[in-house]
Amino acid sequence: MTGDEAFRFIDDVTSDLTFEARGATLGDVFAAASEALLAAAVERPEAVCDVVERRLALEDTRLDWLLRRFLSELVYLLDAEHLALRARRVDVRGEEPDFHLDAVLVGETLDRERHVAANDVKAVTAYGLAVARDEHGDWRARVTLDV
Protein backbone atom coordinates (compact mmCIF):
# COMPACT_ATOMS: atom_id res chain seq x y z
CA MET A 1 0.00 0.00 0.00
CA THR A 2 1.17 3.50 -0.73
CA GLY A 3 0.58 6.90 0.86
CA ASP A 4 -2.57 7.19 2.93
CA GLU A 5 -4.21 4.10 1.42
CA ALA A 6 -6.04 2.26 4.21
CA PHE A 7 -6.73 -0.80 2.08
CA ARG A 8 -6.16 -2.20 -1.37
CA PHE A 9 -7.34 -5.19 -3.34
CA ILE A 10 -4.49 -7.35 -4.52
CA ASP A 11 -4.06 -9.74 -7.41
CA ASP A 12 -4.01 -12.96 -5.44
CA VAL A 13 -6.40 -15.92 -5.21
CA THR A 14 -7.68 -16.56 -8.74
CA SER A 15 -11.18 -17.49 -7.68
CA ASP A 16 -11.91 -14.79 -5.18
CA LEU A 17 -11.03 -11.37 -3.76
CA THR A 18 -8.12 -10.59 -1.44
CA PHE A 19 -7.40 -7.28 0.28
CA GLU A 20 -4.80 -5.86 2.59
CA ALA A 21 -5.68 -3.23 5.20
CA ARG A 22 -3.50 -0.98 7.32
CA GLY A 23 -3.92 1.14 10.44
CA ALA A 24 -1.94 2.79 13.23
CA THR A 25 -3.96 0.91 15.83
CA LEU A 26 -5.82 -2.37 15.88
CA GLY A 27 -9.07 -0.43 15.83
CA ASP A 28 -7.89 1.44 12.74
CA VAL A 29 -6.96 -1.71 10.83
CA PHE A 30 -10.29 -3.36 11.71
CA ALA A 31 -12.11 -0.20 10.53
CA ALA A 32 -10.05 -0.17 7.31
CA ALA A 33 -10.99 -3.80 6.74
CA SER A 34 -14.67 -2.87 7.11
CA GLU A 35 -14.18 -0.18 4.43
CA ALA A 36 -12.57 -2.76 2.14
CA LEU A 37 -15.50 -5.12 2.65
CA LEU A 38 -17.96 -2.33 1.81
CA ALA A 39 -15.94 -1.48 -1.31
CA ALA A 40 -16.07 -5.15 -2.33
CA ALA A 41 -19.85 -5.23 -2.02
CA VAL A 42 -20.88 -1.82 -3.35
CA GLU A 43 -19.58 0.26 -6.24
CA ARG A 44 -18.85 3.82 -5.04
CA PRO A 45 -19.07 3.03 -1.32
CA GLU A 46 -18.87 6.77 -0.62
CA ALA A 47 -22.53 6.88 -1.70
CA VAL A 48 -23.46 4.90 1.41
CA CYS A 49 -24.65 7.51 3.94
CA ASP A 50 -24.59 7.34 7.72
CA VAL A 51 -28.29 6.82 8.40
CA VAL A 52 -28.33 3.74 10.62
CA GLU A 53 -26.14 3.05 13.64
CA ARG A 54 -25.45 -0.38 15.09
CA ARG A 55 -23.22 -1.41 17.95
CA LEU A 56 -21.29 -4.63 18.03
CA ALA A 57 -19.41 -6.36 20.85
CA LEU A 58 -17.35 -9.50 20.21
CA GLU A 59 -14.79 -11.59 22.02
CA ASP A 60 -12.31 -14.13 20.72
CA THR A 61 -9.15 -15.93 21.64
CA ARG A 62 -7.14 -14.86 18.57
CA LEU A 63 -6.86 -11.56 16.71
CA ASP A 64 -7.25 -13.09 13.25
CA TRP A 65 -10.35 -15.01 14.35
CA LEU A 66 -11.73 -11.81 15.90
CA LEU A 67 -11.24 -9.98 12.60
CA ARG A 68 -12.98 -12.79 10.69
CA ARG A 69 -15.92 -12.75 13.11
CA PHE A 70 -16.15 -8.95 12.90
CA LEU A 71 -16.23 -8.96 9.09
CA SER A 72 -18.56 -11.98 9.04
CA GLU A 73 -21.04 -9.94 11.13
CA LEU A 74 -20.93 -7.21 8.48
CA VAL A 75 -21.50 -9.79 5.72
CA TYR A 76 -24.45 -11.16 7.69
CA LEU A 77 -26.01 -7.73 8.21
CA LEU A 78 -25.58 -6.94 4.52
CA ASP A 79 -27.15 -10.18 3.35
CA ALA A 80 -29.84 -10.74 5.99
CA GLU A 81 -30.85 -7.15 6.73
CA HIS A 82 -29.59 -5.44 3.55
CA LEU A 83 -27.56 -3.03 5.67
CA ALA A 84 -24.41 -1.62 4.09
CA LEU A 85 -22.28 -0.68 7.08
CA ARG A 86 -18.80 0.57 7.82
CA ALA A 87 -17.10 1.01 11.16
CA ARG A 88 -17.11 4.55 12.52
CA ARG A 89 -15.11 3.45 15.55
CA VAL A 90 -13.56 0.15 16.56
CA ASP A 91 -11.93 -0.50 19.89
CA VAL A 92 -9.92 -3.70 20.19
CA ARG A 93 -8.29 -4.53 23.50
CA GLY A 94 -6.87 -7.45 25.40
CA GLU A 95 -4.23 -10.01 24.68
CA GLU A 96 -4.16 -13.63 23.63
CA PRO A 97 -6.28 -15.58 24.52
CA ASP A 98 -8.76 -12.88 25.57
CA PHE A 99 -9.50 -10.19 22.97
CA HIS A 100 -12.52 -7.87 23.09
CA LEU A 101 -14.00 -5.70 20.36
CA ASP A 102 -16.52 -2.88 20.59
CA ALA A 103 -17.57 -1.23 17.36
CA VAL A 104 -19.92 1.49 16.26
CA LEU A 105 -21.17 0.70 12.76
CA VAL A 106 -22.86 3.25 10.51
CA GLY A 107 -24.47 3.04 7.10
CA GLU A 108 -27.85 2.55 5.51
CA THR A 109 -30.21 0.08 3.91
CA LEU A 110 -29.17 -0.84 0.37
CA ASP A 111 -31.16 1.18 -2.13
CA ARG A 112 -30.96 -0.10 -5.69
CA GLU A 113 -31.67 3.42 -6.98
CA ARG A 114 -28.56 4.88 -5.33
CA HIS A 115 -26.27 1.95 -4.63
CA VAL A 116 -24.77 -0.16 -7.37
CA ALA A 117 -23.97 -3.65 -6.20
CA ALA A 118 -20.48 -4.93 -6.87
CA ASN A 119 -19.74 -8.41 -5.51
CA ASP A 120 -22.02 -10.74 -3.62
CA VAL A 121 -19.70 -11.36 -0.70
CA LYS A 122 -20.51 -14.90 0.37
CA ALA A 123 -18.12 -15.24 3.27
CA VAL A 124 -14.90 -14.21 4.94
CA THR A 125 -12.52 -17.10 4.45
CA ALA A 126 -9.76 -18.18 6.80
CA TYR A 127 -7.35 -18.56 3.88
CA GLY A 128 -4.18 -16.50 4.40
CA LEU A 129 -5.95 -14.58 7.15
CA ALA A 130 -3.49 -12.47 9.10
CA VAL A 131 -3.35 -9.54 11.53
CA ALA A 132 0.14 -8.42 12.55
CA ARG A 133 2.38 -5.41 13.05
CA ASP A 134 4.68 -4.45 10.19
CA GLU A 135 8.27 -3.26 10.47
CA HIS A 136 7.07 0.35 11.01
CA GLY A 137 4.83 -0.57 13.90
CA ASP A 138 1.60 -0.22 11.89
CA TRP A 139 -1.02 -2.95 12.00
CA ARG A 140 -1.65 -4.87 8.79
CA ALA A 141 -4.41 -7.32 7.92
CA ARG A 142 -4.87 -9.66 4.98
CA VAL A 143 -8.28 -11.11 4.17
CA THR A 144 -9.70 -13.23 1.33
CA LEU A 145 -13.40 -12.94 0.62
CA ASP A 146 -15.39 -15.63 -1.15
CA VAL A 147 -17.32 -13.77 -3.87
Partner 1 sequence: MSAPATLARVGPAEWELPKGFRPGMHVPVRIFATEKLVQAMDAQVFVQAANVATLPGIVGSSLCMPDAHWGYGFPIGGVAATDAEQGVISPGGIGFDINCGMRLVRSNLEWAEVEPKLGRLVNALAARVPAGVGSRGFVSLTRAEFEDVLREGARWAVRKGFGTAEDLAYTEASGAFLGADPEAVSAKAIARGRDQLGTLGSGNHYLEIQILRSDGVFDRELATAFGLGQPGQVVVMFHCGSRGFGHQVATDYLDRFLRAMPAKYGLEVIDPELACAPFMSDDGRAYYAAMCCAANMAFANRQVILQRIREVFAEVFERPAERLELATVYDVAHNTAKLEEHEVGGRMRRLLVHRKGATRAFPPGHPELPAAYRKTGQPVIIGGSMETGSYLLAGLASGRASFHSTAHGSGRSMSRTRARKLVRGAELQRAMRERGILVHAASIAGLAEEAGLAYKSVDEVAEATELAGLSRRVARLTPVGNVKG
22: nearest Cα among 140, 144, 134, 142: 140
| Calpha distance 78→93 (Å, rounded) | 26
Residues 101, 56 contacting (CB under 8 angstroms) = yes
Scan residues 105-134 and list those touching partner 1 (CB under 8 A). Answer: 110, 112, 116-120, 122-129
- Judged by CB, which is closer to partner 1: 6, or 110? 110
- Judged by CB, which is closer to partner 1: 89, or 146? 146
**At closest approach, how far in Å is the CB of 50 from partner 1?**
19
Calculate the alpha carbon distances from 9 to 13, 40, 43, 107, 141 in Å: 11, 9, 14, 22, 12
Interface segment toward partner 1; rule CB under 8 A; list 24-32, 48-56, 62-70, 91-99: 62-70
x-marked contacts with partner 1 along 1-40 as a string, rule CB under 8 A: --------xxxxxxxxxx----------------------
Residues 58, 30 contacting (CB under 8 angstroms) = no
**At closest approach, how far in Å is the CB of 112 from partner 1?**
8
Q: In the chain, count H helices and then E strands.
A: 2, 10
Strand partners, 50: none
**At closest approach, how far in Å is the CB of 61 from partner 1?**
8
Scan residues 74-93 and list those touching partner 1 (CB under 8 A). Answer: 75-76, 78-80, 82
Give me the residues that bind partner 1 (CB under 8 A), please: 9-18, 41-43, 65, 68-69, 72, 75-76, 78-80, 82, 110, 112, 116-120, 122-129, 144, 146-147
